[in-house]
Structure 1
Amino acid sequence: MDVSCRRPGRAWIITPGLRPERFATAQNSGAAVAVVDIEDSVALHDKQAARTAAQAFFAVPTAPCTLGIRMNSPLTIEGTKDLIAMASYTARPDLIVVPKVESARDIDLVAGVLDSDGYTPDIWALIESPRAFETLPAITSAPRLGGVIFGSADYAASVRCGLAWDALHYARCALINAATAANIPAIDAPTWELDDPDALRREAEQARELGFYGKGCVHPRHAAVINEVFTPSEDEIAHARAIVAAADASGNGVTTVDGQMRGTPFFNRARALLSEVDGSP
C-alpha cells in the first residue's frame, strides 16, 4: 500500500489512558503523533474505565497533532470491547495502533469494524514478537496497513535478550527491510532511559541511520530531540542539492561530488530528500 502522502511526523508520544491530566501535555509536546494507551499501561480491572476516559483525548476543538489510540489486541475480549467502544466515540481517533500483531488478519479485523463512510483511520501494526517477524511480509501486505512500529520491550522479553542496540539490531533491520519492501514507514521503539539525553540522541541517530522514519517516546521532553535528529540538517540539504545539480549537469551519468563518486542510487536518494524538504512530489 502506498501511503507516502499520509506519512506522519517523526516523533510519536504515548500516554496512559487513565491519566487524563497528562493528555494536553502529550498533545502539545511537539510530537507529531500523540497516542493514548489503553493496553499495557492499564490493568485488566481498569480497562473499561480507560476506554471511557480515553474519549476525552480526542474531544479537542483543534488538535495540535495526529491523535491516536493503542487498543488491546483485537484477538482478545478486551480488544473486542475496545473496537465496540471506539465505534461509538463521538470524536474518533485519527490513528489506531494495533498491538501484538502476528497476522494481516489483525489489521483486516480492525478495519472491518471501524471503517465506515467518512471514516477510515490510519491503522498501524505494533511488531513485537518473534512470530510477527516470521510473518512480516504477509503483515506488511495488508491493504489497510499504514505503517509499522517496533515494540522492543515485548520482543526482548520474548527472546530473552537485552534492550541494548546491538541485541535488537537484527530485529530492527528486518523490520526496516519489510516495511521498505511494502513502501510503508517504520517507527522505532522509545528509548527507555528517561533522564539520559545522550542515550536518547544516540539511539535516535542510529534509528535514522538504519532507515526508520521516526521514533517513539514516553516522555514529552524527548520529542524535541527526536524531531531535531530526524530533520535533515542544512548541511545535508546543501549536499543533496549539490548531488542533484551534479546529476543534472552529467545527464544522470556517473560523476563526482566533493571528491566522491556519485551515480543513480545517490541521485535518487538526494532527490527524495529534497522532495520531502521542499514539499514537491
Structure 2
Amino acid sequence: MILERSFLFVPGDRPERFTKAVGAGADRVIIDLEDAVLPDAKEAARDHIANWASSSEAKEIAVRVNAIDTVWNSDDLRLVASLPNIVAVILPKAESRKTVEAVAARLQRRQQLIALVETSLGYVDRLDLARSRGLSRLAFGSVDFCSETGIRGLGSELDPVRIELVITSAATGLPPPIDGVTLEVKNADLLAADIERARRLGCGGKLCIHPAQVAAVNEGFSPTSDEIDWAKRIIAAASASGAVTVDGKLVDKPVLDQARKILAASGRDAAST
C-alpha cells in the first residue's frame, strides 16, 4: 500500500468547499469538525458532511472529530461511524492509550484512526499511545503543541519532537508520522524548507491548510528520479550471487530494504523490476 503524503483540511461548516478540496490533488482530504468550526456551528457542520456524503459528488474523505473530552465528540463519532465514505478519523488531543482505543472501538473496522499528538502529555506518553489497538498512524499537531509548551517556532525548534515521533512510529510498527502544518500559505520557500526538513527527519507526509500547498507536499514526500534509479539498481544487483556492491558500497539487507521502500513509495513493484 502506498503511503498517503498530503492531508488537506477543509472547514466542516463550508460545504461549498468540499468538492473543490477533493479535487485539489491531496492524498486525503480532512473535513474538520474541530478547530475550524465555532461551537455554535458544530451541529450544522455535521449535517453538511452527512448531506455531502450522500450526494453524487461524495468521495472518500477523513474527518477530524472534536476531542474526546468535549460535548461534541460522541455525536461526531456517531456520524463518522454511519458514513461508509469516511475512511479515516483524525483524533485531536490524543493523550492516552485508553482514549485512543475507546475511539477506535466506535469506528467501522475499515476506518483508519490517526492520532494527533499536540499536547505535552500526548508527547510524554507517545510510546504507550502508539501501541493503541486500532491506531493507524501518528500526526504532529505542531501549532497547538507550541501554544501549550511555549516553544516559539514551528521549524527547527521542534525537530527533537519530530524525531521522537519518527522513532516511536518505527518502534511500534506504525507508518512514518505526518508532520504539522506550514501556516504561511503564500511562502513557497518556507513550505519547501519545511517539507525537506520533515522528510529528512523521517516523516512520511504533511498536513496542509490550503490547496496551494498540496502539490509541493506530494512531490516533496515522493522519491526523486535519482532515488528510484538507485533503488532499481540495488534490486537488480541483489539478484546476483555472492557479495554485491553498487556505487562502491556493499548491498546488505538494510540497503535492500531501503530500496524496496523507495520503489513501493513510487508505486512500483520491486519484484517486477
What residue is the counterpart of 1:69 in the other structure? Answer: 63
Q: For 1:231 and 1:85, locate their aligned partners in 2 and report how far apart those are by CA, in whole Å.
A: 33
What residue is the counterpart of 1:203 in the other structure? Answer: 194
Distance 1:57 1:97, change over 3 A: farther
What residue is the counterpart of 1:249 in the other structure? Answer: 240
What residue is the counterpart of 2:254 in the other structure? Answer: 265
Code of the aligned partner of 1:69:
V
Q: Is the 8 A contact 1:25 1:220 kept in 2?
A: no
Deviation at 1:249, TM superposition (A): 3.2
Cα deviation 1:18-73 (Å, max 9, x = unaligned): 11111111111100100100101112222212221222343344655x40100001
What residue is the counterpart of 1:138 in the other structure? Answer: 128
Cα deviation 1:170-199 (Å, max 9, x = unaligned): 110111111111221211112111001111
Q: For 1:238 and 1:100, locate their aligned partners in 2 and report how far apart those are by CA, in whole Å.
A: 41
Code of the aligned partner of 1:204:
I
What residue is the counterpart of 2:184 in the other structure? Answer: 193
Structure 2, unaligned stretches of length 5 or more? none
Partner of 2:185, secondary structure, is coil
1:156 corresponds to which of 146, 149, 160 = 146
Q: For 1:204 and 1:108, locate their aligned partners in 2 and report how far apart those are by CA, in whole Å.
A: 31
What residue is the counterpart of 2:163 in the other structure? Answer: 173
Q: For 2:241 and 2:253, locate their aligned partners in 1 and report how far apart those are by CA, in whole Å.
A: 11
Distance 1:45 1:62, change over 3 A: closer
Pairwise CA RMSD of aligned residues?
A: 2.1
Cα deviation 1:166-225 (Å, max 9, x = unaligned): 110011011111111122121111211100111111111221121111111011111111
1:76-115 aligned at under 5 Å gives the runs 76-87=70-81, 89-115=82-108
What residue is the counterpart of 2:204 in the other structure? Answer: 213
Q: For 1:181 and 1:153, locate their aligned partners in 2 and report how far apart those are by CA, in whole Å.
A: 25
Quick check: 1:235 aligned with 2:226? yes
User: Percent identity at matched positions?
Assistant: 32
Quick check: 1:51 aligned with 2:46? yes
Cα deviation 1:77-119 (Å, max 9, x = unaligned): 22122223434x455511110100001122221222233xxx5
Q: For 1:8 and 1:233, locate their aligned partners in 2 and report how far apart those are by CA, in whole Å.
A: 15
Q: Which moved more, 1:69-78 or 1:262-271?
A: 262-271
What residue is the counterpart of 1:17 in the other structure? Answer: 12
Q: For 2:40 and 2:58, locate their aligned partners in 1 and report how far apart those are by CA, in whole Å.
A: 30
Quick check: 1:129 aligned with 2:123? no
What residue is the counterpart of 2:26 in the other structure? Answer: 31
Normalising by structure 1, we get a TM-score of: 0.88
Q: Is the 8 A contact 1:36 1:70 kept in 2?
A: yes
Q: For 1:63 and 1:266, locate their aligned partners in 2 and report how far apart those are by CA, in whole Å.
A: 42
Q: For 2:103 and 2:85, locate their aligned partners in 1 and report how far apart those are by CA, in whole Å.
A: 14
Residue-pair matches, total: 269
Code of the aligned partner of 1:9:
E
Distance 1:275 1:219, change over 3 A: closer
Distance 1:60 1:224, change over 3 A: farther
Structure 1, unaligned stretches of length 5 or more? none
Cα deviation 1:134-167 (Å, max 9, x = unaligned): 1111111112001111100011111101233211
Q: For 1:69 and 1:271, locate their aligned partners in 2 and report how far apart those are by CA, in whole Å.
A: 32
Code of the aligned partner of 1:97:
I
